[in-house]
Amino acid sequence: MGAPKPQVWFNIEEAAEFVGLTPRQLTRRVQEKTIPHYRPSGITGPVKFHRDDLSEYMASCRVEAAR
């Protein structure tokens, strides 16, 4: 048996924990369309997030250190 594969798709609670936000804060970003997300069931369906998209989002939030 190999090591378990890392989770690729997240629901709102899992994604919020991954990026360090509350589910409410993440929901606000979804509504504002400022974080990549998927709605496989249409506009009223549950929101899903892909690990790679969340990692790229986090990288885009990087703040350079002052010198």
Does 1 reside within a domain? no
- Closest alpha carbon to 19 in 40, 10, 39, 43: 10
Please give the tally of structural domains in the chain: 1
Q: Which domain holds residue 55?
A: 9-60
**Between residues 63 and 43, the one the model is more confident about:** 63
Give pLDDT tens digits for 3-35: 777 889 999 999 999 999 999 999 999 999 999
CATH code for the domain of 37: 1.10.1660.10
* Max CA distance (Å), the chain: 48
Contact 22, 28 (CB under 8 A): no
| pTM (two decimals) | 0.82
Q: Is the pLDDT of residue 1 over 70?
A: no
